[in-house]
Amino acid sequence: MAVIINGHDLTIEEVISVCRNNEQVELAPEAVTAVKKARAYIEKKLDEKAVIYGLTTGFGKFANVVISNEQTEELQRNLIISHTCAMGEAYPRHYVRAAMLLRCNALSRGNSGIRLETLQTLIDMLNNGVHPVIPEKGSLGASGDLAPLSHIALALIGEGKVEYKGEIVDAAAAMKEAGINPVVLAAKEGLALNNGTQMMTAVGLNVLWDAMSLQKVADIACAMTGEALHAIKKAYDYKIHDLRGHNGQKEAAENLLALLEGSSNALPLQETKVQDPYTLRCAPQIHGASRDAIRYAYDMVSREINAVTDNPIVFPDEDEVISGGNFHGQPMALTFDFLKIAISELANVSERRTERLVNPALSEGLPAFLTKDGGVCSGFMIAQYAAASMVSENKVYDHPACVDSIPSSANQEDHVSMGTTSARTAAMVLDNAQKVIGIEIAAAAQGIWLRQEQGQKGIENLAPATRAAYEYIRTVSDPIERDVIMHDELVKFDEMIKNGKLLAAVEKTVKLK
């Protein structure tokens, strides 16, 4: 079933279905009406020879230069080709598809003045898998994502490169094979296509979606470590968390209790100790704070994907064309900087739990570095190094991009958001966090197996939910008797997190919040 867009009620879930599952996209009837109405108003203003930014003037610092009707087509094309300044590696396909959808949704609102046939052509490209090649670097996130969005518009006019049927080809050739005619841009359409926050939002939305799963996987990792280290699960009692009242904290505590329900390893109280270290005892508070930040990001992104963010904005009913600043990426810049810090903290505490598993001074009787033959074998010694390295790297990426600004366009654009950098670094943090939490899960599974080898019934005493996790893990990765190529094993854990199979195996037993 196609995703119907009208600029008002697109959901994050629908964006994911389009960008990852190739769902088709259609314009709602009311969107068709709104787009036609706005374009008719633009044509009326052109006939009246009104002086309106971006229609009959140049752009940025050239806003005071009046452009004749005869120069309109050249003006719009020049805007696009001159702005295709992005550099670096190309964005992955799902980011590009998300950006295309978000741009179409914003235009479908009927406040941009684009022609219906131009918008429909962009939708046709999306539905037929004609994906513009968009280099990932070069956006200030101020007049929106000018450079990245210009690369989308470049393909729309039949120029530049696209990814089509798995190959990088000329846009004109792909458009011809797909039966799509390139567009000759009319007045206002260049700005309608390249002013906006859709690239940063596309990247950040995908990071957010994966973070929503990762927060659950982090709880699974903590529960498995709790099984291996004989945690005191009384610290997760709802009475404690209700007293503080933070929703994320309460959800994390509920998840941990559900995951450990029925365990004979992690008990309400332990005879050998009074309390656990913070990485176990305070897991609801730490994980929960990240959950609340992720929820904040969800709310912000849900608004942004239905926002009109180009300039100027057309109000046909009010007979106004207003030059404003909805393209400024600051709301998303702050959001994605917050999001990446939240994700980073899930990795930070995970690495510390891994340290407790491998360090014989902290591991509650487990063999050093989780190997039975220490000295001859190194076990998980360097796996913890790798986790520590990625956690440290995340601290570099965590620096908020939004606190920096370099003025541009001869100081006309004198404050910029750097929001696309916020989103891109959030993606880097996410990748590291998935790997770090995967290392913890690998170490915890090894610790549980070693308990069994020590005659402590580590596997037999697992809760049903952690047992489900352990059993799935063992379909992919065997316990490590002697040293192996650890990279190969750790990649398996990274993949089981990213493909969602570990989480799915656990949620067959218990549904996590």
Point out the residues that are catalytic: 53
| Residue 135: strand pairing partners | 90
Which two three-digit tokens encode residue 159?
A: 């120029």
Neighbours of 383 (CB within 10 A): 26
Find, among 321, 323, 285, 307, the residue nearest to 39 by Cα.
321
**Does residue 273 sit in helix, strand or coil?**
strand
Q: Is 160 exposed, middle or buried (0-12, 13-18, 19+ CB in 10 A)?
A: buried
The radius of gyration computed from the CA coordinates of the chain, to the nearest angstrom, equals 26
Find, among 305, 321, 309, 314, the residue nearest to 114 by Cα.
314
Question: Could you write out the three-class secondary structure of 334-375?
Answer: HHHHHHHHHHHHHHHHHHHHHHHHHCCCCCCCCCHHHCCCEC
C-alpha–C-alpha distance, residues 22 and 25, integer Å = 9
- Contact between 489 and 480 under an 8 Å Cβ cutoff? The reply is yes
C-alpha–C-alpha distance, residues 14 and 123, integer Å = 15
C-alpha–C-alpha distance, residues 453 and 233, integer Å = 24
Contacts (Cβ under 8 Å, ≥6 apart) of 471: 505
Q: Is 64 exposed, middle or buried (0-12, 13-18, 19+ CB in 10 A)?
A: exposed
Contacts (Cβ under 8 Å, ≥6 apart) of 273: 232
- Contact between 376 and 355 under an 8 Å Cβ cutoff? The reply is no
Token pair 């849900």: residue:
302
Q: Name residue 148's amino acid.
A: P
Contacts (Cβ under 8 Å, ≥6 apart) of 21: none
Token pair 């404003």: residue:
324
